[in-house]
Amino acid sequence: MVSLRLAIDEICVQYKKTVISVLLIFIGSLLAVFAVISYSGVNYAYDSCDRLLVRGIKGTAFVELYDSGYEDIYMFFNDDTKGFIGEVCSLPEVSAFGGCFEFGYDIDAAPELYEIQKHDPDFTDGGYWKVSTMNKNLPAAFKLDIAEGKRPEELDFAKEKQEKEIVYLYLGNAYKDIPIGTEFQDKYGRFIVAGILDGKQEMLDYNLVNGFYEAVSYAKNFDYGIIGITDEPPNTSGLWLSAAEGFSIEQALSAAEKVAEKYGIGLKYTTLQDSYELNMSDSMLLGKYLLRLAWILIPSIALMLICVQATSVLGGLRQYGVLYSLGFSKKNIVMSIVIKNVILCILSLALVLPSALVVGSLYFDDSIKMVFETVMVRNAVPVALFMNILIVCMISAVSLGVLSRYSITELISGGKND
Amino acid sequence: MIKLEELTKDYGKGESCTHALRGISLTIEKGSYVSIVGTSGSGKSTLLHILGGMDTATGGKYYFDGQLVSDYSLKQLEDFRRKNISFVFQNFALMNQYSIYENVEMPLIARHIKNRKKLVCDVLERLGISEIKDKKPLKVSGGQQQRCAIARAIVSDSPVILADEPTGALDQKTGSEIIDCFEDIHKSGKTVILITHDMKVAERSERIIRIEDGRITD
């Protein structure tokens, strides 16, 4: 308590130096926070895809088919594309190839599913229940954690297929009370519950599912999501290709290109990593410069802080001497210096964290906000805390180093030996 | 009782070594009132600092109530100072950011003493400065500042008061009033040791110790 009182008194007395120190720590911490967010945000995107995709962000590509010679005209599904897709699926270099798109079905078809899906925090009511629909060849690209039911490769479309489209449903964990085998239908199709996904299952946001070119998103909880698997033709403007184990994505794409040539089909493709880096080039550049700036500025700020603290201690030598003469122990005085520095850092952190959140909420749009907040909590806050602990240790060591150079009698005479 | 045996204090080493004290031996009885006089650089302040446990001797022995203080560790010296010694400095050494009351309260805080308000008010009353207790030191006269410094020294009830040129920064009349205060303190049973240049001040004490070039001359 004695040291705390001395520390608070000193902060109040030297309020100008306090403000300068808090501002310096604030600037350094804010810079560190955004450099870390920027750096960790990229890794978060990669990790997010790697968690969900069997071959990860480097082993998966997004492919468009177009009419050979007309790059802006997408290839419609026909016998050629059917043959092409079938042949690519059987290539040893390819483990999965197919389309994935968000599809909304009428509420009347399965009101029970709609009622549950409504509770999804991200649900936007468009008068339908939505399904991330995949072609039957694609699930092998995703790590699907099925708690109960059949695995996708065990589904038998030939046996079930009648006059209506068959969609096998894998329901998120929020639907776990719906029995396997439950069947819903409308006039266009039959929806058969084939499995329930584990509570840990994640899925990529629909923006990413619909096209990596348009938006970048991240794997997130899929409790209220539904995966539908069909035998219908894929959307040729958005196909996913996953390289087989032991093959690189370049090898898989090269093999697919050869097959495309045979069918007179043009291919446009990008690996997910290239696509991410292309889409996020501005942010990545900003992150790169922030990181460089942090490396230059943070040590400079540390030096400035050392100077401010050293002058603060040198200016208060006589006061420390008087405190010793009044009966305060060395421990009291050392602790008061450390506590003062801790308070400075706490004040700075109390400014940095809300400021970072405000700046983040202005800078990042809603789709990225969740990532920003996650990265902020997981990476930036610990780094800011660590940095502040380091600052406390550093400036306390400097202060105590300066103080220890003087005897009590020198302190009383303001640093002079009379 | 304070007893010094062949106490020496050197600053520096080799050719640049300065001998501040060259074998001081003396005894100061409990409850006595002693002045130490000497020219500038004679070693009197060094002696006072060693007596107060703020500095350590290079050689010799320092006994306080039979305890060998010269063998104390820094931690023991801290405890020794806290229990036995209070200081009054020439330039008052008040902390200008605190009020007179807070300055006087400081030694009690350092000693973790509770019910501080009564103790502080009593001592401020005794020294006639209770009316200015809420003022900052820079807003009061030099005499009042020194009274505040004396109040701060006696509030913790230390048995020994060490004063380094307590009237040095004051005019003659105010200085005389301050010496009256020391006499009162002495009458209350405390040991008072003060350093002064002023023989008029020294002559009011029970005993005068003259020190020159680090040695006691009289």
Q: Domain residues of chain A, as ranges?
A: 2-49+280-412, 69-263
C-alpha–C-alpha distance, residues A156 and B138, integer Å? 94
Residue of B nearest to A407 (CA): B55
One-letter amino acid for residue A305 of the chain: L
- Give bridge partners of residue A146 from the DSSP assignment: A197
Using CA atoms, how far residue A408 sits from A311, A403, A413, A417, B151, in Å, is 18, 10, 9, 10, 22
Query: Of B160, B215, B181, which is closest to residue B31 (Cα–Cα)?
Result: B160
Q: Which residues of A touch B74 (CB under 8 A)?
A: 330
* Confidence (pLDDT) at A227: 92
Residue of A nearest to B92 (CA): A322
Mutate to test the interface with B, among A325, A330, A336 (most CBs of B within 10 A): A325
* Confidence (pLDDT) at B1: 84
* Confidence (pLDDT) at A250: 93
One-letter amino acid for residue A44 of the chain: Y
Residues whose CB falls within 8 Å of the CB of residue B172, separated by 6 or more in sequence, listed in order: none
The parent domain of residue B144 ranges over: 2-216
Nearest to A325 among B11, B54, B74 (CB): B54
Q: Which residues of A touch B107 (CB under 8 A)?
A: 326-327
User: Would you say the C-alpha torsion B51, B55, B56, B59 has a positive or negative sign?
Assistant: negative
Query: Of A276, A208, A242, which is closest to residue A59 (Cα–Cα)?
Result: A242
Structural contact between residues A348 and A22, judged by C-beta atoms closer than 8 angstroms: yes
pLDDT tens by residue, B51-108 = 998 888 899 999 999 899 989 988 898 899 989 999 888 788 888 888 999 999 999 9
* Confidence (pLDDT) at A415: 57
One-letter amino acid for residue B103 of the chain: N
Using CA atoms, how far residue A258 sits from A77, A178, B211, in Å, is 19, 45, 107
Residue B96's φ and ψ, nearest 5 degrees, are: -70, -20
* Confidence (pLDDT) at B135: 92
How is residue A26 annotated by DSSP?
Answer: H
Any chain B CB within 8 A of the CB of A330?
Answer: yes
* Confidence (pLDDT) at A69: 66
Helix (H/G/I), strand (E/B), else coil: A270: strand
Please tell me the distance in Å from A9's CA to the nearest CA on chain B: 8
Q: Which residue has the tokens 């039911």?
A: A149
Number of domains in chain B: 1
Give the CB-side neighbour count of residue B30, counting CA atoms within 13 A: 9
Helix axes A79-89, A249-263, angle to 10 degrees: 150
Give the CB-side neighbour count of residue B108, counting CA atoms within 13 A: 20
C-alpha–C-alpha distance, residues A94 and A240, integer Å? 11
Q: What is the pLDDT along chain A (418 residues), one digit of tens a residue?
A: 778 888 888 888 788 888 998 999 999 888 888 888 888 877 877 888 888 899 988 899 988 888 766 666 666 677 788 888 889 999 999 999 998 888 888 888 889 999 999 898 877 877 888 888 888 888 999 999 999 999 998 888 775 556 778 899 999 999 999 999 999 988 778 899 999 999 888 887 655 444 344 344 567 788 999 999 988 877 776 788 999 999 999 999 999 999 998 888 888 888 888 887 887 787 788 888 888 898 898 889 888 988 888 888 888 888 888 888 888 888 888 888 889 889 988 999 899 888 988 888 787 776 667 777 778 888 888 988 898 888 888 888 888 888 888 888 888 876 554 4
- Residue B57 sits in a domain of what CATH number? 3.40.50.300
C-alpha–C-alpha distance, residues A73 and A7, integer Å? 72
Q: Which residue has the tokens 């209506």?
A: A164
Query: Of A39, A43, A27, which is closest to residue A387 (Cα–Cα)?
Result: A27
C-alpha–C-alpha distance, residues A198 and A100, integer Å? 20
Please give the radius of gyration of chain B, using alpha carbons only, rounded to the nearest integer.
17
Any chain A CB within 8 A of the CB of B5?
Answer: no
Strand pairing category for A128-135 and A226-230: parallel
How is residue A53 annotated by DSSP?
Answer: B
Assigned token pair, A276: 């991410």
Residue B67's φ and ψ, nearest 5 degrees, are: -90, 140
Structural element, H or E, at residue B74:
helix B74-84
B54 to A409: CB separation less than 8 angstroms, yes or no: yes
Nearest to A330 among B78, B106, B112 (CB): B78
Q: What is the DSSP secondary-structure string of B131-198?
A: GGTTS-GGGS-HHHHHHHHHHHHHTTT-SEEEEESTTTTS-HHHHHHHHHHHHHHHHTT-EEEEEES-
